[in-house]
Amino acid sequence: MKIIFYEKNTDTGAWLRNFARELPEADVRVWEPGDTAPADYAVVWRAPRELFAHRPDLKAVFNLGAGVDAILDAERKEPGTLPRNAMLVRLEDSGMARQMVEYASYAVLRYMRRLDEYEALQREGRWEKLTQHARRDFTVGVLGLGVLGGEVARGLLALGVPVRGFSRTPKTIEGVDVYAGPERFDAFLDGAKMLINLLPHTPDTEGVLNARTFGRLAHGAYLVNVARGAHLVDDDLIAALDSGQLAAAMLDVFHTEPLPQAHPFWQHPRVSVTPHVSAETLREESVVQIAAKIRALARGEAISGIVDIARGY
């Protein structure tokens, strides 16, 4: 079996060594422009269109991330980008859920205990005690209850805060107040003290973090965006922070990455910026997952994590 691998900014040698260990029967090569030799599988992150061209034999494309928005956006703009017969498979957790729970838990503790404000007071040399937010009033809404959002919602229960979740289809998560479908969106938002976004970026979810959404949250609420920059209307966030409707935001993803130096988020005193690291793709876990799926496909078995291209995630 032949596998082509493409990820631009990584230690490709280390990936090949992991594949050699997990899938010794496979011939795995790093794809270079001009390589049109046959391949059964592609393992890629943000691959150029050329990689997929003239590969009718490709059985599956494994996306080295949970989000498939970049590859589906390319397909929408230039239909036929994805090989017609290949299924698109995304990473499912593979060590990302735990990282997301850590990031979200940190955000809840940081803002519920007002540690961001104490950091600002320290910079001014001021010894001042602030009233903590009451835990029972610190309702956290998790947007998206999939592989990552579901784990985040469950994980936050350990902090004792009320947790709500929003998804497209109904689901049951013990201890979490679940709202499903667009008609329940406002009820999900109403009065929440923190909104954590873990939706996939699709045409339906683009711009969902906007002035209307912020307006339904509690006054002085917090925003955490760990999904995609395209979910957020940047100017609406700045306006909501300026008006006090939002108290602060923790952002890991941006319309343009790296975040341009001139962007106001860098200097805003109530915006925390991290460089798309809330949940990184872990090499070992990812290779183990992909190798297991390739073996299952070879045995003719069904696998999970196949992207519904029409649905967009």
Q: Name the residue nearer to ligand GLV (CB basis): 242 or 280.
A: 280
Q: Name the residue nearer to ligand NAP (CB basis): 18 or 278.
A: 278
- What does DSSP say about strands 246-251 and 271-273: parallel, antiparallel, or unpaired? parallel
Q: Name the residue nearer to ligand GLV (CB basis): 66 or 161.
A: 66
When binding is defined by CB under 6 A, the residue of 2, 17, 46, 168 that contacts ligand NAP is 168
The full 3-state SS of the chain, as one line of letters, equals CEEEEECCCCCHHHHHHHHHHHCCCCEEEECCCCCCCCCCEEEECCCCHHHHCCCCCCCEEEECCCCCHHHHHHHHHCCCCCCCCCEEECCCCCCHHHHHHHHHHHHHHHHHCCHHHHHHHHHCCCCCCCCCCCHHHCCEEEECCCHHHHHHHHHHHCCCCCEEEEECCCCCCCCEEEEECHHHHHHHHCCCCEEEECCCCCCCCCCCECHHHHHHCCCCEEEEECCCHHHECHHHHHHHHHHCCEEEEEECCCCCCCCCCCCHHHHCCCEEECCCCCCCCCHHHHHHHHHHHHHHHHCCCCCCCECCCCCCC
When binding is defined by CB under 6 A, the residue of 28, 253, 290, 297 that contacts ligand NAP is 253
Q: Name the residue nearer to ligand NAP (CB basis): 98 or 276.
A: 276
Q: Name the residue nearer to ligand NAP (CB basis): 83 or 200.
A: 200
CB 43, min distance to ligand NAP, A: 17
Contacts of the segment 24-27: beta carbons below 8 A, 24+ positions apart: 25/1, 26/1, 26/2, 26/294, 27/1, 27/2, 27/3
Q: Name the residue nearer to ligand NAP (CB basis): 95 or 191.
A: 95
Query: Of the residues 113, 270, 276, 295, which is catalytic?
Result: 276
Closest residue by beta carbon to ligand GLV: 65
Q: Considering CB distances under 5 to 8 angstroms, the limit depending on partner class, which of ligand NAP, ligand GLV, none binds residue 98?
A: none
Burial class (CB in 10 A: 0-12, 13-18, 19+), 48: middle
Count of residues touching ligand NAP (by CB under 6 A): 29
CB 165, min distance to ligand NAP, A: 8
Whether 54 is a known active-site residue: answer no
Query: Of the residues 201, 228, 231, 283, which is catalytic?
Result: 228
Residue 67 near ligand GLV by CB under 6 A: yes
Count of residues touching ligand GLV (by CB under 6 A): 4
Residue 180-199 contact track with ligand NAP, rule CB under 6 A, x = bound: ------------------xx
Residue 229 near ligand GLV by CB under 6 A: no
Residue 46-75 contact track with ligand NAP, rule CB under 6 A, x = bound: --------------------xx--------
List binders of ligand NAP among 121-140 (CB under 6 A). Answer: none
Whether 201 is a known active-site residue: answer no
CB 16, min distance to ligand GLV, A: 21
End-to-end C-alpha distance for the chain, whole angstroms: 27
State the residues that interact with ligand GLV by CB under 6 A: 65-67, 281
Residues known to be catalytic:
228, 276
State the residues that interact with ligand NAP by CB under 6 A: 66-67, 96, 144-149, 166-169, 198-202, 204-205, 226-228, 252-253, 276, 278-279, 313
